[in-house]
Structure 1
Amino acid sequence: MGLCGLSLSQTFRILEFVFCILALLIPTFRGSTSSPYGIWCEFVWAFGAIVALVIFVIEKCLLAKVIEGCVLKHSWDDLSCGLTLLSSLMLLSASVIFCVFFVCSTCFADMCCAIASIVAFGVYVADAVKLKLKCPEGYLSNGRGILRFSQAFVACLIFAAVYNYFKGVENRYRPAGLIWCILVYVVCFLPSVVVILTHLQKCVNLLCCCDLMKMELVVDGVSVALYISAAILWPAFGYKNYQQGISDEHQMYNYRFHDMNVITVLTYVNLGLYTADLIWCLIVLCKRR
């Protein structure tokens, strides 16, 4: 049962859209933000609103079967469940980040924004659980796809923290080891996105000239090796040199130290995700033989 003649799924989509838009609009009244964490939160809320609106329109206009037959490699249920799971994860990160970095005891507007973001996250989680209980078949809504989505998601958080870490000192502070780590994050992020698209669209899959599973095995193997180097070099260079080139302001010092911690932890998280995906690929390929 839904609301005002709408189905439960449609009601969820409307609530997701409304609360994501509220979370997005409330901070705009105080002006634009230059913080990469603030930009990330705004991107997440916009993404959540767009996903809810697009899925609502497609299902309301009965276009899901058409899109499934003409474009998608797997089912529409797989895509909608995968996007809902991804939006839930992204909204969790935005809610936590916004509460940590922007909410204070006297910031009423920011508190309202955080509440809207948390409610949007709750609705998305309820919707994701409902969709997952249908046990959709496909890549995006199941273990392999969730792992791949998570790798790209964690990489985006790393990019935000890296930008904040170097912000204001990028012209004076360029340790070679940290530059290598940034290249690792970018180089590993792009193939993950390509793999997701390959599993998503039929036309992209037709362009693939090799076994997709073997391609993923190579991508995961290279990514694990590169992330091992980043997991060693980022802490080694970062914690030793991160004070160079910064001002004497204690607040900036602390912010950059927190960014360093975030990047270090997320590097190990992504190393674990890529390792798990590599092991999964090996198991699947061994079962084929």
Structure 2
Amino acid sequence: MSTGVTHPNLDDWNTVCCFFRLPQLFSTCVAFSLVADMGIWRGNIGNWSMSIWCFCFAVTLIIVTVKFFDFESHFPLFWYNLSITYACYAAILCLLASVIYSITHVQFLPDGPLRDRATAATTLSCIASAFYAIDAFVWNYYWPEDIPCYVYTLPALLKVLETFVAGVIFVFLSNTSLYLHQPALEWCVAVYSICFIPTALAMLLKLGDWENILPVPFPIFQLGLTLLSVLLYISALVLWLLYQFYEEFGGQPQWSSDISCIDDLICTWIQRLAVAVLTAINLLIYVADLVYWARQVSIGTEDQPRDF
């Protein structure tokens, strides 16, 4: 990959993207401001949503700044790949914040200015998600056919999903009472971290076209990494279910056994269930990833970019 040459199509789209990034900045900034001004009515879900909007605003501002000062000319293709990947994550994050904030918080607010403010923030978050999605997917029509783009391949999509689901799991695990009382559950938390870090590293290697620095071919590296992740996630899913939902292991099998669930929609038992479901989902994604890389190793090829 050439790191010092740009392509006219990429330059054209980078200019067009400015018209999408300004609404991204505006919607995330205003959504954050509206909820921040709600005081004690923000709630924990409001604080979590604010952190997402603040993160998206900050990273988008960095991207705009890099474009304004033409810093991306020093590493154009890596920067464009990274920008598309970020847009994918931001679209999913803003959509997730919109859904969770509206379902678990906004609808329980009393009618009046506070609820109107929260509703407006949710709407702006949806708008931001739409603009990020446009930013991510319309790149495909400007990306030159002769230059590989990792983001538009099946393994890249799987990696995005794996890291995203793991990130949501970490949000629920911020409640340390879910696992600190049991070493087996602490192992589950370790599994999520062990699998997340190398998955993110593999994405970074591919985005920067640095996979040649590995001592083994990249498909074999990915196959071994994904197989390890599948085995670890199986252990995490089994242990989490046993120690959270079976009385023999100190778990709570029924929602009604958690008194806090009477008054709290996102009570501890629901959080335990959410982590179990997300663990199962990520395991399935890793299995799909394993099948993909097993196929690539067996036939000695790798899907070309823009395969979907």
Question: How far apart are residue 205 of structure 1 and its match?
Answer: 4.7
**3-state SS of 1:220 partner:** helix
Alignment of 1:8-87 (within 5 A): 8-31=16-39, 35=44, 37-68=45-76, 74-87=77-90
The question of 1:188 aligning with 2:224 is answered no
Partner of 1:233: 239
Question: How far apart are residue 158 of structure 1 and its match?
Answer: 0.6
Question: How far apart are residue 223 of structure 1 and its match?
Answer: 0.6
In 2, distance between residues paired with 1:200 and 1:96?
Answer: 30
After the TM superposition, list the runs of 4 or more consecutive aligned residues in structure 1 that deviate by more than 6 angstroms.
245-249
TM-score, structure 2 length as denominator? 0.77
Equivalent of 1:265, from 274, 277, 280?
277
Q: Is the 8 A contact 2:94 2:125 kept in 1?
A: yes
In 1, distance between residues paired with 2:260 and 2:141?
Answer: 54
Identity %: 23
In 2, distance between residues paired with 1:97 and 1:45?
Answer: 13
Per-residue displacement from partner, 1:226-252 (whole Å, max 9, x unpaired)?
111222221222123148x97667325
Matching residue's letter, 2:138 = K
- How many residue pairs align between the two structures? 273
Q: Is the 8 A contact 1:79 1:141 kept in 2?
A: no
In 1, distance between residues paired with 2:61 and 2:266?
Answer: 40
Per-residue displacement from partner, 1:163-190 (whole Å, max 9, x unpaired)?
23x44x766xx23432222121111111
Per-residue displacement from partner, 1:56-81 (whole Å, max 9, x unpaired)?
3333444433222xxxxx55443322
Q: Is the 8 A contact 2:244 2:252 kept in 1?
A: yes
Question: How far apart are residue 207 of structure 1 and its match?
Answer: 5.1
Residue segments in structure 2 that go unaligned for 5+ positions in a row: 1-13, 302-308
Structure 2 CA distance for partners of 1:67 and 1:34, relative to 1, 3 Å: farther
Partner of 1:276: 288
Q: Is the 8 A contact 2:165 2:278 kept in 1?
A: yes
Partner of 1:109: 117
The question of 1:133 aligning with 2:145 is answered no
In 1, distance between residues paired with 2:23 and 2:266?
Answer: 38
Cα RMSD of the aligned pairs, angstroms, is 2.9
Partner of 1:220: 226
Residue segments in structure 1 that go unaligned for 5+ positions in a row: 1-5, 69-73
TM-score, structure 1 length as denominator? 0.82
Alignment of 1:123-202 (within 5 A): 123-135=131-143, 137-164=148-175, 166-167=176-177, 174-201=181-208
Q: Is the 8 A contact 1:139 1:199 kept in 2?
A: yes
Q: Is the 8 A contact 2:102 2:122 kept in 1?
A: yes
